[in-house]
Amino acid sequence: MSTTTEPAAEAAPVKTGPGAHPPPGGRNRGKRETVAVQHTAGWLFSTPFLVLFAVFMALPIVATLVMSFTDFGLRNVTDPFSAEFIGFENYTKLLDDEKFLKSLFNTAYFVVVGVPLTVGLGLFVAVLLNNGIDRARTFFRVGFYAPVVTSIVAIAVVWRFVLDPADGLIAGLASEVGLTSPDFLGSEALAMPSLIVMAVWRNLGTVMVLFIAGLQAIPPDVREAARLDGASTWQEFRRITVPLLRPTMLYTTVITTIGYLNVFEEPFVMTQGGPSDSTLTVSLSMYREGFNFFHMGYASAMAYVLFVVIMAITVLQLRLLKDNTK
């Protein structure tokens, strides 16, 4: 019996040459290879940052969190894993620590008084330099911003001279009119206000620059329309300038508040937390516990309490000052 078989389908000829189109499978494979090369290049460019972030940011943050649940001290430096796990003991101890509670109160005092002053004066100076002052505008801008780029040590020298009760600038002016200058940095009542004034003067330039940028972004047509409708200067500021500056105001308030909650340099170089801990802040207290007494576990607990406070206040500010004009 004879059998017949169907001829096998011949494969379609592949067109080659300069005008040939690649097969669909080859086109997809080439696209995937191109994307893979781009991803590899992206990861290679990102690797230095990721390594630095992991070593200098992520690892210390996690290590500090773990350390806050231990009694890590000087004896554990050579063998960190010998530190004893004590749970929330450091955190409960903070609630009974009068020095920490006082530093928390001083920090809150510094923020509650200092932030509104800095933001308010920064807005006032920005409005003046943007509209009210025509001559020497650059000179004033540089003058207000100069303290921002000046070393805190140089600023401390200047302010010590200004506040010195014996030979300072204020003492000299007071003696001219027959008055006696108080000891600003030696008085428990005046030491913190003196540091707040110094901090406001030092940070005013940053806030001013941000507000000037925000003012220059306001369309002039809006102002002209308000003036044509008979709006006064105050009404224009209240109804036009302030609402349109809301995003800038939110940013400056959040940034200034975070910086003031972490205040360390001013009390460290001017008063060392004195007199009688009247200028002791949370950051300065944390520094002392960590590097003077080497209670690293206790200092780490302080750091995370401050972190939670900063997060809570920042979220509250973002909710209260968010832009509702859109």
Beta bridge partners of residue 85, listed in sequence order: 70
Q: How far apart are CA 269 and CA 259, in angstroms?
A: 17
Instruction: Examine residue 13 and state whether it is found in any structural domain, yes or no.
Output: no
Tokens of 59: 């690892």
Q: Quick one: 45 and 161 in the same domain?
A: no
Give me the domain span that covers residue 44: 38-69
Q: Quick one: 60 and 204 in the same domain?
A: no
Q: How far apart are CA 173 and CA 164, in angstroms?
A: 12
Please give the pLDDT value at position 248.
92
Please give the pLDDT value at position 119.
95
Instruction: Examine residue 80 and state whether it is found in any structural domain, yes or no.
Output: no
Instruction: Examine residue 27 and state whether it is found in any structural domain, yes or no.
Output: no
Instruction: Examine residue 218 and state whether it is found in any structural domain, yes or no.
Output: yes
Q: How far apart are CA 16 and CA 13, in angstroms?
A: 9
Please give the pLDDT value at position 319.
87
Tokens of 146: 């100069």
**Average model confidence (pLDDT) for the chain?**
86
Q: Quick one: 46 and 174 in the same domain?
A: no
Query: CA distances (Å), 199 to each of 45, 140, 318, in order?
Result: 39, 19, 24
Q: Quick one: 141 and 263 in the same domain?
A: yes
Q: Quick one: 273 and 171 in the same domain?
A: yes
pLDDT over 90 at 142, yes or no: no
Q: Which amino acid is at 262?
A: N
Closest CA to 69 of 96, 90, 97: 90
| CATH classification of the domain holding 140 | 1.10.3720.10
For Cα atoms 120, 121, 126, give the angle at the middle one, nearest 5 degrees.
Answer: 100
Query: CA distances (Å), 203 to each of 84, 106, 143, 193, 199, in order?
Result: 42, 19, 12, 15, 6
Q: How far apart are CA 48 and CA 52, in angstroms?
A: 6
The torsion defined by the Cα of 77, 80, 84 and 89, in degrees rounded to 10, comes to 70
Confidence of residue 4 (pLDDT cuts 50, 70, 90): very low
Cβ burial, residue 196 (10 Å; 0-12/13-18/19+) = buried
pLDDT over 90 at 68, yes or no: yes
Q: What average pLDDT score do residues 232-255 get?
A: 90
Q: Quick one: 221 and 150 in the same domain?
A: yes
User: Are the C-beta atoms of residues 267 and 280 closer than 8 Å to each other?
Assistant: yes
Tokens of 42: 């992206």
Instruction: Examine residue 30 and state whether it is found in any structural domain, yes or no.
Output: no
Higher local confidence (pLDDT), 94 or 31? 94
* Helix-, strand-, coil-residue percentages of the chain, each rounded to 5: 70, 0, 30
CB atoms under 10 Å from CB of 237, counted, come to 16
For Cα atoms 29, 34, 37, give the angle at the middle one, nearest 5 degrees.
Answer: 125
User: Are the C-beta atoms of residues 245 and 325 closer than 8 Å to each other?
Assistant: no
Q: What average pLDDT score do residues 269-276 get?
A: 89
pLDDT over 60 at 326, yes or no: no
The pLDDT > 90 percentage for the chain reads 49
Q: What average pLDDT score do residues 123-130 get?
A: 89
Q: Quick one: 178 and 106 in the same domain?
A: yes
Domains: count for the chain: 2
